[in-house]
Structure 1
Amino acid sequence: MVGIILASHGEFAKGILQSGSMIFGEQENVQAVTLMPSEGPDDLKAKMKDAIASFDNQDEVLILVDLWGGTPFNQANSLFEEHKDKWAIVAGMNLPMVIEAYSSRSSMESAQEIAAFILKSAKEGIKVKPEELEPADNGKSSQANAGVSNAGAPGSFEYVLARIDSRLLHGQIATAWSKDVLPTRIIVVSDAVAKDELRSKLITQAAPPGVKAHVVPVSQMIKLAKNDKQFGGQRALLLFENPQDVLRAVEGGVPLKTINIGSMAHAIGKVQPNKVLAFNQDDIDTFKKLKQAGLTFDVRKVPNDSKGNMDEILRKAQAELNKLK
């Protein structure tokens, strides 16, 4: 029997597991895996491994996730790489999809066969009242979005967002920010990631539909910024792991005016003045240099958040570091 993992941000996966059981009955070889606010990608990956280990057949695994490009997808995708001949991942999990997957297991023994089969039920399960709100041609919206991209038009890169995020390309980028700034290319600028073939591959696969993702070292981004005519009209969203890489890029000639600060992971030697940002002395000094270079700071996780005061955050971080000395 094909094993099924339901994976989500928060308790959604557990809720849909319970709903599926109410409608279709209790199921064997099905596990809900959740990413909670206090947990990171490694925690979720460990949960997925434990869930898979509990299945009778670990060769055939179907993973249903909430969001394409989110942390559950990214961690599932990292496991999928070693089993791509048999496993399957489907994003956009909904209840019709889950029930159809349960039903299909009685006649289908392949995870990939079930994945292909349940897509129709998942899409048909999306309805609206009143019916006239249903679009006459679902393809038209995609064509309209393609027109917004301005791909191939004369000119050079338009930098629609530059962001510091230690998680790089994840759900908030693939959904909220991409819909807000409409990039045609997402460029991860990192020497470390560019050297990691697996991470680079996973990042390019996590790009939202219609957007190309790339991973380049800082030096390559500088070259692109100085000779970007070949990318005429492309709307670029740049992702950095840390402020040091941003400073190198700016000093090298990448014409950034604003940097969005979304997430900086905690590590030994760092203080954490708020829930998502952690700093050491080098980080603080680097942000001061970025400010001197004329950059403004936009502290938001997602577009709808109110903007944080970066000067106040840095002052608090410096005070906490001083206490540790």
Structure 2
Amino acid sequence: MVGIIIASHGEFANGIKQSGSMIFGEQPNVVACTLMPHEGPDDIRKKMEDAIASFEDPEQVLFLIDLWGGTPFNQANGLFEGHEKTWAIVTGLSLPMLIESYAARMSMESAQEIATHVMQAAKDGVMIKPESLAPKEEKAAAAAPAAGVKGGAIPEGTVLGDGHIKFVLARIDTRLLHGQVATTWTKTTQPNRIIVVSDAVAHDKLRKKMIEQAAPPGVIANVVPIKKMCEVVQDPRFGDTKAMILFETPEDALRAIEGGVDIKTLNLGSMAHSEGKVVVNKAIAMDKKDVETIEKLRKLGVDFDVRKVPSDSPENIDHLLKKAKEELKTK
């Protein structure tokens, strides 16, 4: 696995590493190297040398550095000599760059291949609102991915692909479309459409707009009522669609599946705590209705993949249900 050194002036490297962990989960072979005000060039060089020595493969190292020409860059550049064929340095450190590097490591084994790939991701991560402030050529480029993909533009009865929508991920998450979903899960499952299925959100104009605008570049986000989703799965115009489908509650997922949405596995990512619920792990709280609904889903043959991000180890749903039942008895 390619080792990653995140280097910066001050605590920026530590902070962005922590942010990356919140979104993508803890990552091996990643070290933050900081140059503090009381330190000099030799200090951060030593930190980088120690980081490289700790990596599984010291021959594949990617440096993500805050500023070209600064001390962290200069020291990395000094270490770079003799490794020009395998190492890589990218400056302009940002969270989109770091997240893309984590995702790229899952399929790329070369630091230089990842470096080439993340440059575009870093550029795409710079966006502006209102869009009218962006240069005209950038606005045109941003609009391009959405052209010609709206279902309404395709004549009714048209069959695309095999006529059946593909679900690359079906997830229960109280927060619906947020950082972990828009980055980590999107990059690992590669959907071309994100569909939030919720009667409540579909009738909330503000929440609906926020979700549609939170879609990552190149992916369309839609919010539909449960009944509409049951109709969509019967529409052959969505045969070329690779969808990530998001539910706010287990109850919504059950209604959709009973209505004909063919889901075999549900990723259980987050269920927020509220009055009447008990906490069963760091991200999931359940009440009696949740427990009953999940048990109904399992009787329908639905498997549960319990984890916040792909890098997490799946938890056992039976253990979580047992814990919920025991704690609910004492309430």
Give the TM bin, normalised by the shorter chain: 0.5 to 0.7
Query: Residues of 1 paired with 2:194 and 2:114: CA distance?
Result: 32
The answer for the alignment partner of 1:178 in structure 2 is 186
Query: Residues of 1 paired with 2:117 and 2:289: CA distance?
Result: 55
Query: Residues of 2 paired with 1:277 and 1:233: CA distance?
Result: 33
Match for 1:238: what amino acid? I
Secondary structure, counterpart of 2:11 in structure 1: helix
Query: Residues of 1 paired with 2:317 and 2:112: CA distance?
Result: 47
CA deviation string 1:111-146 (max 9, x = no partner): xxxxxxxxx9779xx8x9987975499779x9xxx9
Aligned with 2:315 (options 300, 303, 308): 308
Q: 1:121 to 1:196 in 2, by over 3 A?
A: same
Query: Residues of 1 paired with 2:182 and 2:283: CA distance?
Result: 19
Query: Residues of 1 paired with 2:14 and 2:111: CA distance?
Result: 29
Secondary structure, counterpart of 2:232 in structure 1: helix
RMSD value, Cα: 3.8
Task: Please say if 1:16 is aligned against 2:7.
Answer: no
Task: Please say if 1:161 is aligned against 2:175.
Answer: no
Task: Please say if 1:207 is aligned against 2:207.
Answer: no
Match for 1:267: what amino acid? S
Shift of 1:161: 0.5
The answer for the alignment partner of 1:113 in structure 2 is none
Shift of 1:15: 3.5
The answer for the alignment partner of 1:242 in structure 2 is 249
Match for 2:257: what amino acid? V
Secondary structure, counterpart of 2:279 in structure 1: coil
Task: Please say if 1:321 is aligned against 2:328.
Answer: yes
Aligned with 1:287 (options 291, 294, 316): 294
Q: 1:179 to 1:322 in 2, by over 3 A?
A: same
Shift of 1:16: 3.4
| Residue pairs, 1:1-325, within 5 angstroms | 15-16=11-12, 95=66, 135=116, 153-227=161-235, 229-324=236-331
Query: Residues of 1 paired with 2:208 and 2:120: CA distance?
Result: 30
Shift of 1:231: 1.3
Secondary structure, counterpart of 1:269 in structure 2: coil
Shift of 1:232: 1.9
The answer for the alignment partner of 1:3 in structure 2 is none
Query: Residues of 1 paired with 2:115 and 2:253: CA distance?
Result: 44
Query: Residues of 2 paired with 1:292 and 1:130: CA distance?
Result: 46
Query: Residues of 2 paired with 1:131 and 1:18: CA distance?
Result: 23
The answer for the alignment partner of 1:112 in structure 2 is none
Query: Residues of 2 paired with 1:264 and 1:199: CA distance?
Result: 18
- The gaps in structure 1 that reach 5 residues or longer are 1-11, 20-33, 38-93, 100-119
Match for 1:282: what amino acid? K
Query: Residues of 2 paired with 1:182 and 1:309: CA distance?
Result: 26
Secondary structure, counterpart of 1:226 in structure 2: coil
Are the aligned partners of 2:191 and 2:244 in contact in 1 as well (CA < 8 Å)?
A: yes
Q: 1:312 to 1:131 in 2, by over 3 A?
A: closer
Query: Residues of 2 paired with 1:136 and 1:237: CA distance?
Result: 24
Q: 1:317 to 1:134 in 2, by over 3 A?
A: closer
Query: Residues of 1 paired with 2:195 and 2:216: CA distance?
Result: 13
Match for 2:330: what amino acid? K
Give aligned pairs, total. Answer: 210
Are the aligned partners of 2:232 and 2:238 in contact in 1 as well (CA < 8 Å)?
A: no
Match for 2:11: what amino acid? G
Secondary structure, counterpart of 2:286 in structure 1: coil
Q: 1:252 to 1:121 in 2, by over 3 A?
A: same
- The gaps in structure 2 that reach 5 residues or longer are 1-7, 23-64, 71-90, 102-109, 125-144, 151-159
Shift of 1:198: 1.0
Query: Residues of 1 paired with 2:320 and 2:117: CA distance?
Result: 49
Shift of 1:273: 1.4
The answer for the alignment partner of 1:52 in structure 2 is none
Secondary structure, counterpart of 1:210 in structure 2: coil
Query: Residues of 1 paired with 2:251 and 2:296: CA distance?
Result: 10
Q: State, as a whole percentage, how many aligned pairs show the same letter.
A: 46
Match for 1:291: what amino acid? R
